[in-house]
Amino acid sequence: MPQFFTFGEVREKVKNDLDLIDEDFITQSTMNGFIEEAIDEAESHIHTIYEDYFLTKSTITLETGRVLYPLPSNIYGTKIRKLLYSNGSLKYEIKPVVYLASTIDIQTDEDYAYVLVNPNLAFTADTDASNVITNLISTSDIEVGVAVSGPNIPDGTVVTDIISSTSVEISQNATSVDTGVLFKFGGFHLQFFPTSRERGVITIWYLRQANKPVTTEITEIDNTVVDIPDFSSFVIQYVKMRCYEFEGHPNTVKAIQDVKELRENMVATLTAKVVDENNKIPMDLDFYWDFDYDSYF
């Protein structure tokens, strides 16, 4: 059965196994970097060979008049599998728009369709530690729902209203007063056609990213789970190998070979999970071949 480790436990196991407990040559941030390398490689193999390993779902609540909806923060690239709409007894799959020109003819009572868009806007503006950004040069290209980032803007903040030609309301308060700083409005979003007209719920099935370690140096405690338990041994051995390389240790060659073997096992395990499309049993026709037609003529 796969064993779940936290990233803190991974660091502690590597330190214990390599007798690094009382050493500070390899810092926590350095080891976190090694862990991220291991996760990135495992994640790449998983998405290449058996990406359904990371299949998950989330929900989006529609808001009347809202134009853009950010993708889940942990989505891998823009890998969406399905969008399923639900509002009472009305349920259907939301399909992507095939021809962009058709969006101008979509009527307000039609089933939703979607387009994946990536607005990329940047403006200098001001905040006063409230939920309003002021003194924008223009708001004409900013849509309700677009993600906002900038100094002292909490993660996950989006535009909730266009107040004027120079001001927008955002979903979370800025954490300080700033003047003339750069704000970015963008990232991949879902845009629905027609524009949201009621408060329905959309289930989004997508492929997620693997968890990554906390990068702080303040504490050794990191209870984030390594969420590829089938391959945690690969992650641990990879980190050991990189520690040996970092120190110029004579065990480096052996560690590289161990990682190679675990990598090959990982690829074999993932390959075995791929659904074999050749799963139909051919019809047994022996009865027809054995049948004595001559006796009936």
Q: What is the pTM of this model?
A: 0.77
Report the share of the chain in percent with pLDDT over 90: 70
Residue 111 has pLDDT above 90, yes or no: yes
How many whole angstroms separate alpha carbon 216 and alpha carbon 224?
13
Tens digit of pLDDT for each residue in 262-296?
999 999 999 998 765 555 555 555 544 454 545 44
C-alpha 269: how far from its chain's center?
A: 23
User: How many whole angstroms separate alpha carbon 178 and alpha carbon 127?
Assistant: 5
- Neighbouring CB atoms inside 10 A of 58's CB total 15
Q: For residue range 66-105, what is the model confidence (pLDDT) as tens digits?
A: 889 989 989 998 999 999 999 999 999 999 999 999 999 9
* Distance (Å, whole) CA 169 – CA 160: 6
Residue extents of the structural domains in the chain: 7-52+211-273, 55-207
